[in-house]
């Protein structure tokens, strides 16, 4: 029987070894994919359900003292002296909805997206490890509560994890990495050193050009924002409170008898012994703080420069006390329980409330309240709706990652690397080797944990953005064979 011309061409194509066309998506293929990633999809679904319950129980959002500043910047676009304007830009993009509920919904979606990014990055690891790495960010009640607060942390966490994910990709999109890190820096200033970490990663892999591109892409928006900041305040930087926050950090140990400060700095001394002093943040906001008592607002260039010089002197004169203080604050990240800190007022903002809370009273500005009503086009209070709110309060009692477990997760990658070295397996990375994939998220997580206690203060919400990166690093460290498909 003669062969048709079309069949002959198909047969010839197959014989010469050209690739066959990729199969089209089908229900059977989708079902197989779902079975392959079933455990992760179950965790993701549960995480989505918890977020839906939160939105039903606390309508439309939960407020934090910082929320006022962000809302004011939405309607009066100008750099803030304390916080960069990235989160306000995020709120501005959602303003047409005229609902703070739209903001919390977007933040919950960012939380879910962060879990997906962690799982995608951890495809190098066994699927059980990749799935476990997503559990804290998807199911931790305090993570979900943080996403429901009108604060910048959920956005910051997503930007950083997205930047790390693109950096670890087979073909890194370095311009996107730089822009994401710039956006993270302009959302929270702790993102600045992460630019150095990303550049160092490419340098360790001997990709100098990519390191340069990341730095240029990251610094261009930051420098542009700095130009806006300078045009507004005639000051260099992107915020004007670095000296004040470092001063507050050193007041946990600064002893003017040891420091012997010059006369102009003596006004910032606190005669009380360190063990009787309030938490560090009180030295920035409390009316009886020596810094707040100075003429004019706390964050003028003169006051901030004075506070910075005091802090520098305290660190130089008492370096061991400073190191001990930083380690003590850092240690709060790794305790098993969750003791009240720095005080009940701030601590309670991180707990799902049982009754409808009043708008934050501390540092409240009437302008922020009025503009919040303008944004919402209505009242800005939080309505607590049962039984959904009660379900989340009960879940928060058990659904969290203890700090001690976080410490164990952080120890997994170096511990496995040392074990393999001692057992004759893959040797530890040195300058002439490719760095292990876990090193980038691990070093980023460590930096996010260390920097706040070193330059400002410990806060429970500062810990959460480091968690998905620590879990990702632990998952990647379990990889012993080729990448999972």
Tokens of 331: 């240690």
Tokens of 15: 């014989």
Q: Are 207 and 217 in contact (CB under 8 A)?
A: no
> pLDDT at position 424, please?
67
Beta bridge partners of 384: 58
* Helix-then-strand count for the chain, H and E: 25, 2
> pLDDT at position 25, please?
65
> pLDDT at position 19, please?
46
Indicate whether this model's pTM tops 0.85: yes
Phi, psi for residue 20 in degrees, rounded to 5: -75, 150
Q: Are 188 and 156 in contact (CB under 8 A)?
A: yes
Q: Are 100 and 90 in contact (CB under 8 A)?
A: no
> pLDDT at position 367, please?
85
DSSP states along 369-397: HHHHHHHHTS----EE-TTHHHHHHHHHT
User: Which of these, 174, 195, 173, 175, lies nearest to 184 by C-alpha position?
Assistant: 195
> pLDDT at position 22, please?
57
Distance (Å, whole) CA 418 – CA 29: 41
Beta bridge partners of 149: 62
- The distance from CA 396 to its chain's CA centroid, rounded to whole angstroms, is 20
User: Which is it for strands 383-384 and 58-59: parallel, antiparallel or unpaired?
Assistant: antiparallel
Largest CA distance in the chain: 107
Distance (Å, whole) CA 432 – CA 421: 16
Q: Are 393 and 399 in contact (CB under 8 A)?
A: no
Tens-digit pLDDT string for the chain (485 aa): 444 444 444 333 333 334 445 556 678 887 888 888 899 999 999 999 999 999 999 999 999 989 999 999 999 999 999 999 999 999 999 999 999 999 999 999 999 999 999 999 998 899 999 999 999 999 999 999 999 999 999 999 999 999 999 999 988 889 999 999 999 999 999 999 999 999 999 999 999 999 999 999 999 999 999 999 999 999 999 999 999 999 999 999 999 999 999 999 999 999 999 999 999 989 998 888 999 999 988 999 999 999 999 999 999 999 999 999 999 999 999 999 999 999 898 999 999 999 988 777 655 578 888 999 999 999 988 999 999 999 999 999 999 999 999 999 999 999 999 988 888 654 444 444 789 999 999 999 999 999 999 999 899 999 999 999 999 999 999 975 544 44
> pLDDT at position 23, please?
58
75, 105, 346, 364, 376 from 369: Cα distances, Å? 12, 21, 19, 8, 11
Distance (Å, whole) CA 152 – CA 239: 16
SS3 call for 168? helix
Q: How far apart are the first and last CA of the chain?
A: 44
Q: Are 347 and 340 in contact (CB under 8 A)?
A: yes
Tokens of 274: 């360190």
> pLDDT at position 126, please?
93
Tokens of 195: 């630019």
Q: Are 130 and 113 in contact (CB under 8 A)?
A: no
Distance (Å, whole) CA 131 – CA 475: 9
> pLDDT at position 430, please?
44
Give the long-range contacts of residues 394-397, CB within 8 A, separation 24 or more.
395/50, 395/141, 396/141, 396/142, 396/145, 396/351, 396/352
Distance (Å, whole) CA 459 – CA 152: 14
CB neighbour list of residue 467: distance below 8 Å, 6 or more residues apart: 136, 137, 140, 143, 401, 406, 445
């Amino acid at each position: 029987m003669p062969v048709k011309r079309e069949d002959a061409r198909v047969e010839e194509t197959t014989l010469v070894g050209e690739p066959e066309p990729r199969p089209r998506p089908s229900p059977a293929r989708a079902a197989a994919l779902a079975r392959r990633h079933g455990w992760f999809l179950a965790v993701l679904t549960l995480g989505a359900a918890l977020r839906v319950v939160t939105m039903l129980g606390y309508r439309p959002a939960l407020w934090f003292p910082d929320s006022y500043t962000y809302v004011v910047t939405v309607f009066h676009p100008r750099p803030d002296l304390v916080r960069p304007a990235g989160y306000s830009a995020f709120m501005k993009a959602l303003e047409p909805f005229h609902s703070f509920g739209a903001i919390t919904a977007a933040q919950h979606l960012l939380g879910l997206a962060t879990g997906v990014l962690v799982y995608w990055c951890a495809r190098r690891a066994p699927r059980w490890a990749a799935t476990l790495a997503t559990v804290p960010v998807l199911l931790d009640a305090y993570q979900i509560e943080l996403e429901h607060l009108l604060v910048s942390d959920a956005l910051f966490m997503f930007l950083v994890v997205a930047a790390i994910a693109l950096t670890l990709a087979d073909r890194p999109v370095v311009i996107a990495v730089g822009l994401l890190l710039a956006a993270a820096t302009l959302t929270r200033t702790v993102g600045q050193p992460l630019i150095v970490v990303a550049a160092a990663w490419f340098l360790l892999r001997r990709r100098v050009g990519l390191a340069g591109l990341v730095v240029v892409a990251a610094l261009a928006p930051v420098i542009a924002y700095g130009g806006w900041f300078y045009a507004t305040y005639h000051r260099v930087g992107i915020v004007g409170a670095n000296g004040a926050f470092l001063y507050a950090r050193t007041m946990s140990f600064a002893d003017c008898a040891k420091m012997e400060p010059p006369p102009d700095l003596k006004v910032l001394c606190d005669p009380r012994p360190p063990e009787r002093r309030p938490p560090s943040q009180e030295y920035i906001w409390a009316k009886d703080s020596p810094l707040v008592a100075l003429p004019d607002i706390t964050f003028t260039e003169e006051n901030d420069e004075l506070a910075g010089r005091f802090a520098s002197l305290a660190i130089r004169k008492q370096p061991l006390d400073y190191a001990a203080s930083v380690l003590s604050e850092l240690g709060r990240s790794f305790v098993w329980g969750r003791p009240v800190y720095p005080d009940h007022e701030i601590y309670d903002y991180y707990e799902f409330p049982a009754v409808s809370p009043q708008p934050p009273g501390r540092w409240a500005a009437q302008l922020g309240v009025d503009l919040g009503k303008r944004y919402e086009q209505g009242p800005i209070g939080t309505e607590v709706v049962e039984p959904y709110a009660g379900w989340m309060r009960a879940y928060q009692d058990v659904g969290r990652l203890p700090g001690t477990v976080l410490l164990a997760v952080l120890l997994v990658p170096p511990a496995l690397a040392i074990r393999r070295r001692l057992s004759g397996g893959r040797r530890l990375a040195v300058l002439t080797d490719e760095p292990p994939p876990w090193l980038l998220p691990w070093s980023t997580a460590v930096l996010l944990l260390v920097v706040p206690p070193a330059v400002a203060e410990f806060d429970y919400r500062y810990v959460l953005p480091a968690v998905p990166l620590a879990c990702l690093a632990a998952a990647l460290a379990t990889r012993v064979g080729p990448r999972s498909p």
